[in-house]
A = this chain, B = another copy of it.
């Protein structure tokens, strides 16, 4: 990999030490010294333009990536050519964990807007994790948390109505923005309606109609990509008050 692909403008080259995302990202819980060691293996790459891909499905796994600013979507293409979005990644989030097992990326990742990325070469990271206990732990923690949110998401897809899915999605985004110090009250969607539909397992038209309805009901205000959550508590209500539970009774079976 040519070093000319790395640039050094100060906003981008800022070390993990000084990065405001530290508390969300891999360095979390590491000592100052250990963060410095981690920092030494991190490559800070030239920002990706909208639509540019970070890696493609089938690529050999070499590094994990952390989003520094901007946003990324990950999707897989089935053999019949359909694409399914698996995740939207915000600053501080790690990509590529699902490739560790097989050594091959099972999905593609593209920037949804101008996005800068930190690259974490995995073999070096792995070696370092061997020496730095907190790093090993943090890697496991991050993966575990991801398993968790996948499970939650599976539950959402398995038995929630379109309304509940979209409401949950918006609230989830809101809280993630807030964690990062942005407003969860008002924000811009970096993804299209069709991306949202694809991600939530809904038709575009359904998403569009729901936005309209949520607005009519005074839950949100929508202007194109700009969303304002007007009545967040009522919206939370939508996520729990699910339809008459048809679920079986997991006791034994």
Within 8 Å by CB of A158, from B50, B102, B201, lies B201
Q: Are B99 and A144 in contact (CB under 8 A)?
A: yes
Q: Are A250 and B154 in contact (CB under 8 A)?
A: no
Q: How far is the CA of A82 from the CA of B248 in the complex (A)?
A: 8
Cβ of A143 under 8 Å from chain B: yes
* Category for how many chain A residues contact B: 35 or more
Cβ of A216 under 8 Å from chain B: no
Within 8 Å by CB of A248, from B107, B133, B198, lies B198
Q: How far is the CA of A157 from the CA of B84 in the complex (A)?
A: 11
Given A130-B133, A250-B83, decide whether A147 and B98 contact each other with a Cβ distance below 8 A: yes
Copies of this protein chain in the complex: 2
Q: Are A80 and B240 in contact (CB under 8 A)?
A: yes
- Of the stretches A19-27, A29-37, A70-78, the one at the interface is A70-78
Cβ of A182 under 8 Å from chain B: no
Q: Are B140 and A130 in contact (CB under 8 A)?
A: no
Q: How far is the CA of A55 from the CA of B52 in the complex (A)?
A: 45
Cβ of A234 under 8 Å from chain B: no
The smallest C-beta distance from A90 to any residue of chain B, in angstroms, reads 15
A75: nearest chain-B partner, CB-CB: B250
Within 8 Å by CB of A150, from B110, B151, B248, lies B151
The smallest C-beta distance from A182 to any residue of chain B, in angstroms, reads 19
Q: Are B143 and A150 in contact (CB under 8 A)?
A: no
Within 8 Å by CB of A143, from B82, B107, B126, B147, lies B147
A86: nearest chain-B partner, CB-CB: B151
**Which residues from chain B contact A204 at a C-beta distance below 8 Å?**
246, 248
Q: Are A250 and B158 in contact (CB under 8 A)?
A: no
The 5 listed contacts between A and B (C-beta, < 8 Å) are A83-B247, A84-B158, A97-B143, A102-B144, A136-B136
Query: Told that A86-B154, A190-B253 touch, could you supply 10 new A-B pairs with CB distance under 8 A?
Result: A98-B144, A101-B140, A126-B137, A130-B130, A139-B140, A140-B140, A157-B157, A157-B158, A158-B201, A198-B250
